Structure formats: C-alpha cells, structure tokens
C-alpha cells in the first residue's frame, strides 16, 4: 500500500509518522514539497505519486488569523482537499481527511451528531465545512473524521501554551463556558492507523464520522487538569466567560461531538480525555 501524507509537520502529521509504520510505502508531503494554496500543485503531486491512500493532516489552523486571511484559509481547507478527493477518485484511491467541531454553531445543548445542521461561526469553520463538501462531491471513497481541541507535545496548542505560561505568570484567567473534548494528536494517529488496518482487511465505510476523546470539559477544566499533572509551579486558575476574552474569531460554546456512529462503525472508541492527557504528559516527562 502506498500512502501519501499531507501535513507531515503538523501535530497529527507528526504523530502519524511515529510508532507503528503507517504503510508499506509512505510519502510525506510538507509545505516544502507541496503548497496547499496551489490546488494544481496538489493535483500534480497526487498524479506523480499515484497513492492507494491519501491522508490529509494539513490544514490552515490559525483560527483567529483566518478571519483576515480568508482566501488562503479557503484555499488550504477547501480547494486543496477537494483537489485531493477528485484526484483520489480518478485513481481509485481512498482519502482520509480531518475536520472540526467548529463546523457547528455550538448552540445545541447535547453532543452533536454527524447529521446535525452545521453553522460555522468563523472563517476557519466555514472553510473546513466547504472542504468536507468538496470531498463528498468528488464521488470517491473517503473518510472524514471531525475532531476537536487537538493538542500534543509538538506544535502550537493549548497544552504547550499552558506549560509555558505557568512559569511566567502566577495567575491565569481561562475561559470556562466553552465545552469540548481535548483530543491528543497521538490518539487521532492511533485511531487512523486502526482505520487503515481495517481498510486493508477489506473493511471500509466511506462517510463522515465524529472522532474525539471521550468525556468533555472546558478550557478552564483542561487547564486545571494540566497543572494538576505538571507539578510546580502551579499558577492559580481563574474561571472567566468568553465575553471576557475577546478574540477575532467567534467560537462555538458547545463543541462536544457524539462518537456513537464512529464506535458503531469502527468498533472502538478513543480514550477519555483525562487518559489521553495522562499519556501525553507521560511522554513529556520521559523525554524531559
Ligand atoms: N488544532 C486543533 O485544535 C484542531 C481541532 C479540530 C480539528 N483539527 C483538524 O485536525 C487536522 C490536523 O490539525 P493539526 O492540529 O495537526 O494541525 P497543525 O498542527 O496546525 O498542522 C497543520 C499542518 O498543515 C500545514 N499547512 C498549512 N498550510 C499549508 C500550506 N499552504 N501548504 C502546505 N502545508 C500547509 C502546516 O505546515 P507548516 O508546519 O509548514 O506550517 C502544518 O504542518 C486538521 O484538519 C485540522 O483542521 C484541528
């Protein structure tokens, strides 16, 4: 099996390259090999590599910056995945793509299911939604995995920001009214590996799936859990409302996704968010 991975330097992209081998033949594309703002260059690369599977872990993920950089965001998150999907369809290859909780408006009070109405509140969410639609319309075989609040020991994320800030500030004010499931890049990679294993055994179900850590918390709860595990120095954490922390991009209040369809189709679930955090912190402790 020849697998073409886009986004090789991202959180999920890096996690996919560590641990058990992903494919017999793995071709990794970073920004250097292929600029995703150029859909033609995406098409050329796919035609040249002729993969059996494409995994797209690349995305324009700077949610606030996207508000004033709409064209680049849509090029990377909408046009590029659509180009991957149509090239994959032409080759008879499969596409695994990641999407986001930010396709929803966050006003629902219970976890979002795959068939719930979308309503992105920001440019990033709108671009990811258009990416999902482009993939579905290409007519090939695909799995889109909507995940949330991604973090890990590499890249830019909430965990790393908290670990940096704890030695800089005695007190941190963290948003306590947005709910979601922090999901580690390692857990996403592990689950993707399992999906690809099932595919090799002939088990493939094209479609859209929610795939996040089990359970839910707030950014405040996540910060507290990080500091409980990180030891000294532990700043005091003050709970604030979204309105007290204005950002260029609006965020959904409820980002919790239901993983029931994923569990029913693939026969497993990602671990609870606290367990995933324990695992990430253990890796961090082992290397520091
Ligand atoms: N991060 C989250 O909280 C979150 C939440 C829900 C869903 N997701 C989704 O999960 C997936 C993986 O996210 P992640 O957190 O692993 O993302 P990430 O760490 O931000 O990595 C994204 C990768 O995409 C690459 N990229 C961006 N623009 C590019 C361009 N024009 N050409 C080529 N490469 C480009 C980046 O390259 P450089 O390294 O060169 O910048 C980076 O390596 C994405 O689909 C994302 O939308 C993420």
* pLDDT per position as a tens digit, 219-278: 999 999 999 999 888 899 999 999 999 999 999 999 999 999 999 999 999 999 999 999
Residue found under tokens 């990811």: 128
Rounded Cα gap, residues 193 and 277, in angstroms: 20
The pairing of strands 2-6 and 25-29 is parallel
Instruction: Work out the pLDDT band at 29, boundaries 50, 70, 90.
Output: very high
Distance of CA 263 from the midpoint of ligand 1 (Å): 25
The answer to whether 61 and 124 have CB atoms below 8 angstroms apart is yes
Please give the structure tokens belonging to residue 149. 């609040």
DSSP H helices in 50-92: 63-66, 70-74, 80-91
Rounded Cα gap, residues 227 and 206, in angstroms: 40
| Atom from ligand 1 closest to the CA of residue 35 | 32
Taking alpha carbons only, the member of 157, 152, 223 closest to residue 189 is 152
Please tell me what DSSP assigns to residue 54.
Answer: E
Domains of the chain: 2-157+182-214+256-271 (3.40.50.720)
The answer to whether 124 and 102 have CB atoms below 8 angstroms apart is yes
In the set 124, 151, 209, 220, the catalytic residue is 124
CB atoms within 10 A of CB 18: 12
Pocket of ligand 1 (CB under 6 A): 7, 9-13, 30-31, 35-37, 57-61, 76, 98, 100, 128, 147-150, 155, 185
Is there a catalytic annotation at residue 112? no
Q: Cβ neighbours of residue 77 under 8 Å, at least 6 residues apart?
A: 59, 60, 124, 127, 128, 130, 131
Q: What is the pLDDT of residues 68-116, one digit of tens each?
A: 999 999 999 999 999 999 999 999 999 999 999 999 999 999 999 999 9
């Amino acid at each position: 099996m020849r697998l073409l991975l886009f986004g090789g330097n991202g959180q999920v992209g890096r996690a996919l390259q560590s641990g058990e081998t992903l494919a017999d033949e793995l071709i990794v594309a970073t920004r250097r090999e292929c600029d995703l703002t150029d859909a033609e260059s995406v098409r050329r690369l796919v035609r040249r590599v002729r993969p059996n599977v494409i995994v797209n872990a690349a995305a324009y993920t700077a949610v606030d910056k996207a508000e004033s950089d709409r064209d680049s965001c849509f090029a990377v998150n909408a046009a590029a995945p659509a180009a991957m999907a149509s090239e994959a369809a032409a080759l008879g290859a499969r596409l695994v793509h990641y999407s986001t909780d930010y396709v929803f408006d966050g006003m629902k009070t219970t976890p979002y299911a795959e068939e719930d109405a979308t309503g992105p509140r920001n440019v990033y969410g709108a671009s990811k939604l258009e990416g999902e639609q482009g993939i579905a319309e290409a007519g090939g075989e695909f799995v889109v995995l909507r995940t949330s609040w991604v973090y890990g020991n590499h890249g830019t994320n909430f965990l790393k920001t908290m670990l940096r800030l704890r030695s800089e500030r005695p007190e941190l004010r963290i948003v306590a009214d947005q709910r979601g499931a922090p999901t580690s890049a390692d857990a996403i990679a592990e689950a993707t590996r399992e999906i690809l294993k099932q595919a090799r055994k002939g088990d493939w179900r094209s479609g859209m799936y929610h795939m996040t850590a089990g359970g839910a918390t707030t950014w405040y709860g996540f910060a507290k859990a990080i500091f409980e595990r990180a030891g000294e120095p532990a700043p005091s954490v003050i709970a604030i409302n979204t309105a007290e922390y204005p950002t260029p991009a609006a965020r959904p209040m409820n980002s919790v996704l239901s993983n029931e369809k994923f569990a029913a189709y693939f026969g497993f679930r990602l671990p609870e968010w606290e367990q995933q955090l324990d695992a990430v912190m253990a890796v961090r402790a082992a290397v520091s």
